[in-house]
Amino acid sequence: MSCFSIRLATAADLSAINDIYNHYVLTSTCTYQLEPETLEARTIWFEQHSRDTHPITVATVEKEVVGCGALSPFRPRAAYRHSVEASVYLRHDVHRRGIGKALLLDLIARAKSAGHHTLIGGASADQTASLKLQESLGFQRIGCLREVGYKFGRWLDVVYSQLML
């Protein structure tokens, strides 16, 4: 698994991206989505991400998609246009091999070259992997919103972290 590459995603990757992501919809608090993403919704999401300013990336091993990343607008209002939110999802069977970190590092580089000003990471407070990953790349914890999510029968806090670019 040491030999992986990262590239911009194409429409042909969307089904693999959904397979990776929907595993977490059903099993994890790392996403607050409750129902699996459809391919139609994923396609709209893809089309709304400009490759120059809000790229979607994939990590591949021997051409197989094993992870994905995205820079998304932090908020829709125009004055937020230089702020982006990063998300990274690894296929559940390839964790702890450095791929998530490589995807996030690549997103940081893309955010800088797109001229963004700050990168924001939101993570459920119980998601140690996500929080440690952000911390390892210099994100600073800004605050915690208490009990804003409810999944699997319990309230969830969200931690916001930020990297100034």
Ligand X SMILES: CC(C)(COP(=O)(O)OP(=O)(O)OC[C@H]1O[C@@H](n2cnc3c(N)ncnc32)[C@H](O)[C@@H]1OP(=O)(O)O)[C@@H](O)C(=O)NCCC(=O)NCCS
Contact residues: ligand X, CB under 6 A: 24, 30, 87-90, 95-101, 123, 127-130, 132-133, 136
62 or 93, CB closer to ligand X?
Answer: 93
Q: What one-letter code names the amino acid at 44?
A: I
Task: Identify the three-state secondary structure at position 30.
Answer: coil
99 or 119, CB closer to ligand X?
Answer: 99
Would you state the structure tokens that stand for residue 3, as one six-digit string? 């030999």
Do the beta carbons of residue 59 and residue 6 sit within 8 Å? yes
Q: How far is the CB of 10 from ligand X (least distance, A)?
A: 21
DSSP annotation of 44 reads: H
Q: How far is the CB of 131 from ligand X (least distance, A)?
A: 8
Q: How far is the CB of 98 from ligand X (least distance, A)?
A: 5
Residue with smallest beta-carbon separation from ligand X: 100
Q: Which residues pair with 164 in a beta bridge?
A: 118
2 or 78, CB closer to ligand X?
Answer: 2
Measured between alpha carbons, how far is 51 from 70 in angstroms, rounded to an integer? 10
51 or 101, CB closer to ligand X?
Answer: 101
Q: How far is the CB of 116 from ligand X (least distance, A)?
A: 17
